[in-house]
Amino acid sequence: MEDVFRFWKEIRRRNVHKGIISYVIFSWVLLQVISVLGSLVEMPIWLGKAVLISLLLFFPFWVAFSWLYDITAEGIKLTPSKKNENTPERNETINKKLNTFIVVFLLLAVVLLFVDRFRLTTQYETNEITNLKVQENSIAVLPFNDMSLLKNQAYFADGLAEELIHTLSKIAGIKVTSRTSAFSFKGKSIDIPTIAEKLNVKYILEGSVRTYDSIVRINVQLIDVKNDKSTWSETWDKQLENILDIQNEISLSIAERLEISITSSDIPAAKKVNPQAYRLYLEAKYEMNKTFSIEGDKKAKDLLLKSLEIDPTFAPAWDLLSTVYHFLTDYGILTVKEGYPLVKESALKAVEQDSLYATIYEILGTVAISYELDYDKAQEYVNKGLSLEPNNTAVLNRAAQVALLFNETKKAVTYNEKIVALDPLSEYSYYALGTNYYYARMYAESEKTLLKALKMTPEADITHSLLTCALIKQGKFKEALQHAGKESSEPLRYHSLALAHYSLGNTKKSREFLEKLITTYSKEYSYTIAVTYAQRGDRDATFKWLEKAMEYQDFEVTDLNVEPFFDTVKEDPRWLIFMERLGLTAD
């Protein structure tokens, strides 16, 4: 026993115990830093394990080092034996240094605990929004690799992966992550388990593509995330005109692997397509998705017209052309008088070629809403689209819009919650959900969801403006003013600042921003000006600008029945007249 006490005394003299404590605290802090930063900079998941193993392996060496050496002001020196120790202050000096080290790292540990707690809380809130639970048959299709020698077929590789997403989405028993989220990992060195965790899926489909004249070679493999192993792989070498057959074969093989029974209605028989027409179609999609700009849409339009000149029976090209015409009309490149006939004609030609193509009914729903104000017809279209593809996010988004037209805000929220589950990394998905939470008077949920959208894309247009409205409705006026000033869209920033300053009682400032909005953007934002006047309870000005919104064919006027700021004017006799003119459902 005496030997044990003597040994313990020697450990204390050499400060080995404090060296061990310091090492444990340092190791814990280092692992926490890796854990916190890992999700921010997308570190590979093996890094934390590698560091932990390294720390454990190095621990015995550190204990030996603590026994043999002291870290002094003069550097690292051998610990003197007891009989040779001639510096009385030695232990006190080293004790102070070790104590300081321990205290500093303990403080760091406390800070990291708070950071980690905040991170976990944020993750919980995200899960709460999306109602995350990994579905058994859930899959994400990653962008395919371009294996061409010149690396000039990225449009084809991306397009094929996107078309597979569309084909798989037709199978009711499979949850397929939407393109926006799945393609967000393009060009990033992130391992499969991490991608699957972020997308909340059980399977990942990846592949590569290469074309030689009229021959296409496609390699695909299905990965089970649980064990990070391929459960199925296949290679196709076929004529490009049979590309739709290959897409169907891949989808059928995946359904078989997931033990899902499907019918012919899930995946209809594929038609042959002209190879050059198909290439031009994929190139058009690539141009649209590359920049999301007017120029991209113009290029897409030209490519689609060439594609349809070669093969006028290819329904997806007509469908996409209809969407492009709608975007160009929305941007003001085409007038409503010019754009509306082109949008509708293209959509109807798509239906004529393939009445089972679900996204056609989404664009027809848009035509019925934005150009014809026929909401019953829009409801028929989205119902048809949902019956064909219940997990098609474009159709779900249009269904949510139709629900708002009938003042069914909770139904709209349900659609958007489903979209977020299918597209969990899309800023727009969260923005749209936050919008409908706002319309449903669920202001706290709207705030939380819009903050999530801003975390993904801090400079996104509109989001700060909508968040300003949600905060005002909760009485958080100072926070609303902060977000109003951050809105990147100038007209919406003027609008938001006018709302926020009015809420705070700064009527002069509010009027200044409203006048700026009217002076600069009276035609394009007539509906928004009406909303600003509605907050003030100025009924005459509100209805004056609503008249202008109808005159200028401002598409946003269809939100009239669900916008909370219009609650101030609903008792006015003119309200129901406007609702009837627009064909909207009142409260």
pLDDT tens digits, one per residue of 236-260: 888 888 888 888 888 888 888 888 8
Strands 203-212 and 215-224, how do they pair?
Answer: antiparallel
108 and 77 in a common domain: yes
180 and 94 in a common domain: no
82 and 160 in a common domain: no
The answer to whether position 387 is within a domain reads no
pLDDT at position 394 is 93
The answer to whether position 313 is within a domain reads no
CATH number of residue 231's parent domain: 3.40.50.10610
Contacts of 126 (CB under 8 A, 6+ apart): 132, 452
116 and 151 in a common domain: no
Contacts of 34 (CB under 8 A, 6+ apart): 43, 47, 48, 51
145 and 125 in a common domain: no
268 and 223 in a common domain: yes
**208 lies in which domain range?**
138-272
Q: CA-CA distance, 159 to 561, in Å (whole number)?
A: 39
The answer to whether position 349 is within a domain reads no
pLDDT at position 303 is 97
- 327's tokens: 């975007």
175 and 95 in a common domain: no
Q: Which of 83, 108, 130 is the last residue of a domain?
A: 130
Asked if residues 395 and 386 have their Cβ atoms less than 8 Å apart, the reply is yes
146 and 268 in a common domain: yes
Question: Count of alpha carbons within 13 Å of 105, Cβ hemisphere only?
Answer: 21
The answer to whether position 310 is within a domain reads no
Q: CA-CA distance, 49 to 55, in Å (whole number)?
A: 10
- 483's tokens: 């977000």
User: Could you tell me the pTM of the whole model?
Assistant: 0.74
221 and 253 in a common domain: yes
Residue type, 298: K
Please tell me the total count of domains within the chain. 2
pLDDT at position 25 is 74
Is 460 in a helix, a strand, or coil? Answer: coil
Q: Which of 236, 256, 272 is the last residue of a domain?
A: 272
Low-confidence ranges of the chain (pLDDT < 50): 39-42, 83, 86, 118-127, 130-131
- 520's tokens: 């600069």
Q: CA-CA distance, 573 to 562, in Å (whole number)?
A: 18
53 and 34 in a common domain: yes
Q: Which of 222, 256, 272 is the last residue of a domain?
A: 272
- 550's tokens: 């109808």
- 130's tokens: 């999306």
- 42's tokens: 């997308």
The answer to whether position 208 is within a domain reads yes
The answer to whether position 585 is within a domain reads no
pLDDT at position 40 is 47
Is 424 in a helix, a strand, or coil? Answer: coil
Asked if residues 324 and 297 have their Cβ atoms less than 8 Å apart, the reply is yes
The answer to whether position 94 is within a domain reads yes
Q: CA-CA distance, 324 to 317, in Å (whole number)?
A: 10
Q: CA-CA distance, 54 to 27, in Å (whole number)?
A: 10
Q: How far apart are the first and last CA of the chain?
A: 86
155 and 106 in a common domain: no
The answer to whether position 191 is within a domain reads yes
Q: What are phi and psi of 132, to 5 degrees?
A: -70, 130
Asked if residues 382 and 396 have their Cβ atoms less than 8 Å apart, the reply is no
Q: CA-CA distance, 39 to 55, in Å (whole number)?
A: 21
124 and 207 in a common domain: no
